[in-house]
């Protein structure tokens, strides 16, 4: 599959999505409904971006976009939310072997 560099505006949209997701993960009780609306809006903007017309939208390319946004200036790692023993727990991806197919589910 041919790879294209992601445009800056698409990288910035993904970075905004990640920041919003992380805020929701860390503080679901503070403005959760508004943060979820923002995530939906950003998801729509990302998936409808003209960039995807060149090579098609796919799960693999979304992963590439997330990685590129994380590596770019101002990027941050997406947190992982687990439901453990009746409560939600948030962890960093570096410490989660189940994240992105790196370990057993």
Question: What was the pLDDT predicted at 3?
Answer: 56
Question: What was the pLDDT predicted at 4?
Answer: 62
Give CA torsion, residues 52, 11, 68, 53, to 10 deg: 10
* Both structure tokens of 19: 């920041």
Residues 44-102 pLDDT 10s:
999 999 999 988 888 899 999 999 999 999 999 999 888 788 877 888 755 544 444 43
Average pLDDT in the 16-31 region?
91
* Both structure tokens of 33: 């409904």
Residues 34-46 pLDDT 10s:
999 999 999 999 9
Residue 31 predicted with pLDDT over 50: yes
Say whether 41 sits in a helix, a strand or coil. helix
Residue 2 predicted with pLDDT over 60: no
pTM for this predicted structure: 0.79
């Amino acid at each position: 599959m041919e790879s294209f560099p992601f445009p800056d505006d698409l990288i910035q949209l993904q970075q905004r999505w990640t920041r919003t997701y992380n805020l929701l993960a860390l503080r679901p009780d503070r403005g959760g409904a508004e943060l979820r609306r923002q995530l939906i809006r950003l998801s729509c903007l990302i998936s409808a971006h003209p960039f995807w017309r060149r090579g098609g939208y796919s799960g693999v390319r979304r992963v590439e976009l997330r990685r590129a946004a994380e590596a770019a200036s101002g990027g941050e790692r997406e947190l992982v939310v687990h439901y453990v023993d009746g409560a939600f727990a948030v962890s960093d991806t570096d410490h989660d072997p189940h994240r992105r197919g790196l370990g057993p589910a």
